[in-house]
């Protein structure tokens, strides 16, 4: 009974997470009017539901522990190397906090982003997951992906009044911690909209789409596992859904997610084409055509694909993060980098020295920089959030070189386990490996684990696949 309830609630959580930003925006508009920051009671619904799921899991773990003692089996409380790395990271965060004496709210914000998903993984791999749930969660991900993909593509044709009526801010590309969410981000050099669908930003959307994309790649192309499509109709629907997901992924213009998707596709191609010379020849031809297409696209649309201002930040900020790690080798504390830092900082925009900042005068709270010089406001010094544009370096800034090593080791160990595990359910195993790999690659270029829909879903799937098996003790 407890397992059934937990699995139902987990499906509800995974199904609703991608709609979180839209739902909170709309309900905040209904309850508080336009222009207000998301209501805290609404924002925390997902943590509340996750907390209920984990509470049920804890009861199951204790029941399982008593049963294991009676049947002379291994206790679910037994730790392995993955558990040890997670617990070591959590202990290190407390030590760094005690040594730095940073604000408690910063620590709590940082803990929410960095460790709540890991806590869920730690507990949920100690309970059982039914085969029916594993099948249902993949079907649910595909259904939600199609809805979100279609809606995201359709929003390109909606007027701004549609979004402001829902509660979105009239300005684009800006984030104020005490204001409503913007409906779009734009590619600065071209002015083109990047779709974010129901989510809080295009990068968050793109990273989440890697999860249903992994299910589709496993279904259509992977030779590993037993997820075989037996009917022509099912295969046609899968191809249609793949087009929707890839279309939405492309229109997000998230280059980090594109790279993650390319790595996922490469792994699937490598595993499915081995030992087939004819298919290998076709694959080489397709790779050549794709490379030529990418080169032509870069030459024809440099402002869209190269985006020099954004690209430079992807080099400058990681370098700055390394400098901070050198200056603070034992870490600066949770919340000092990444998305948590934006919760207690000013909203900042960094423009090129030749840009005209006049447009920002209508937003007096916005901190505007031309190069390194602050030009707005003039009566105070701004405190800007620090985004290293790399999740691993974010962990390094917060927890020092040791924290960076522990986190890299954790991600690497999970990927190895997911890949090598001899599971009776190859479908979810391969999909979980692919999405975890894609997100881990994307995290090299941006804060891929910041969004709850991405982090909670990916870690829950990994936990269900890497669930501890009962073993008889000697």
CA distance 195 to 45: 25
pLDDT exceeds 90 at position 307: no
What 8-state DSSP symbol labels residue 350? E
CA distance 176 to 347: 6
CA distance 471 to 73: 5
Q: Is residue 349 part of a domain?
A: no
Most confidently predicted of 80-89, 277-286, 307-316, 352-361: 80-89
Give per-residue pLDDT as tens, 357-412.
Answer: 777 787 888 888 887 788 888 888 888 888 898 999 999 999 999 999 999 999 99
* pLDDT greater at residue 466 or residue 359: 466
Q: Is residue 343 part of a domain?
A: no
Q: Is residue 416 part of a domain?
A: yes
Number of domains in the chain: 1
Most confidently predicted of 177-181, 229-233, 416-420, 455-459: 455-459
Radius of gyration of the chain (CA): 23
Domain of residue 72, residue span: 2-307+387-465
CB 8 within 8 Å of CB 56: no
pLDDT exceeds 90 at position 118: yes
What 8-state DSSP symbol labels residue 181? P
Smallest CA-to-CA distance from 450 within 206, 258, 186 is with 206
User: What is the per-residue DSSP string for 23-88?
Assistant: HHHHHHHHHH-TTPPPPHHHHTHHHHHHHHHHHHHHHHHHHHHHHHHHTTB--TT---HHHHHHHH
Q: Is residue 89 part of a domain?
A: yes
CB 401 within 8 Å of CB 322: no
Smallest CA-to-CA distance from 385 within 324, 340, 432 is with 340
CA distance 117 to 80: 18
Q: Is residue 335 part of a domain?
A: no
Q: Is residue 267 part of a domain?
A: yes
Give per-residue pLDDT as tens, 286-299.
Answer: 555 555 665 555 55
pTM: 0.90
* pLDDT greater at residue 461 or residue 361: 461
Q: Is residue 365 part of a domain?
A: no
Q: How far is CA 207 from its chain centroid?
A: 5
Q: Is residue 9 part of a domain?
A: yes
């Amino acid at each position: 009974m407890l397992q059934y309830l937990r699995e139902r609630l987990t499906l509800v959580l995974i199904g609703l997470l991608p709609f979180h930003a839209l739902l909170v925006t709309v309900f905040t508009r209904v309850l508080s009017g336009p222009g207000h920051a998301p209501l805290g009671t609404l924002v925390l619904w997902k943590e509340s539901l996750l907390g209920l799921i984990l509470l049920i899991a804890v009861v199951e773990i204790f029941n399982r522990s008593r049963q294991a003692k009676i049947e002379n089996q291994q206790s679910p409380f037994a730790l392995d190397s993955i558990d040890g790395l997670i617990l070591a990271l959590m202990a290190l965060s407390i030590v760094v906090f005690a040594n730095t004496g940073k604000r408690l709210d910063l620590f709590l914000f940082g803990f929410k982003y960095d460790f709540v998903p890991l806590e869920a993984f730690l507990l949920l791999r100690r309970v059982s997951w039914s085969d029916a749930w594993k099948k249902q969660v993949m079907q649910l991900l595909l259904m939600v992906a199609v809805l979100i993909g279609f809606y995201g593509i359709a929003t390109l044709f909606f007027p701004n009044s549609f979004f402001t009526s829902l509660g979105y801010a009239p300005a684009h590309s800006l984030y104020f911690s005490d204001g409503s969410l913007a409906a779009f981000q734009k590619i600065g050099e071209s002015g083109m909209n990047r779709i974010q669908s129901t989510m809080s930003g295009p990068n968050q959307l793109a990273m989440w789409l890697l999860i249903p994309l992994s299910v589709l790649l496993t279904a259509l192309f992977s030779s590993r596992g037993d997820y075989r499509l037996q009917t022509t109709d099912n295969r046609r629907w899968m191809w249609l859904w793949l087009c929707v997901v890839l279309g939405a992924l492309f229109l997000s213009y998230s280059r980090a997610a594109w790279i993650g998707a390319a790595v996922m596709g490469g792994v699937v191609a490598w595993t499915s084409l081995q030992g087939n010379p004819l298919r290998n020849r076709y694959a080489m031809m397709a790779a050549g055509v794709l490379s030529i297409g990418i080169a032509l696209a870069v030459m024809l649309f440099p402002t869209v694909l190269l985006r020099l201002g954004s690209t430079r930040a992807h080099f400058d900020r990681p370098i700055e993060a390394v400098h901070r790690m050198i200056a603070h080798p034992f870490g600066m504390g949770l919340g000092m980098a990444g998305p948590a830092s934006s919760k207690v900082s000013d909203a900042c925009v960094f423009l090129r020295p030749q840009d005209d900042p006049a447009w920002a005068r209508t937003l007096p709270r916005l901190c505007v920089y031309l190069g390194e010089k602050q030009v707005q406001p003039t009566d105070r010094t701004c405190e800007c959030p620090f985004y290293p544009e790399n999740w691993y370096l974010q962990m390094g800034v917060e927890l020092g070189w040791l924290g960076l090593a522990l986190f890299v080791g954790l991600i690497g160990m999970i990927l190895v386990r997911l890949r090598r595990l001899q599971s009776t359910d190859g479908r979810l195993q391969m999909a979980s490996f692919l999405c975890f790999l894609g997100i881990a690659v994307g995290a090299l270029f941006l804060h891929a684990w910041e969004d709850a829909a991405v982090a909670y879903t990916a870690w829950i799937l990994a936990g269900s696949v890497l669930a501890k098996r009962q073993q008889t003790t000697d």
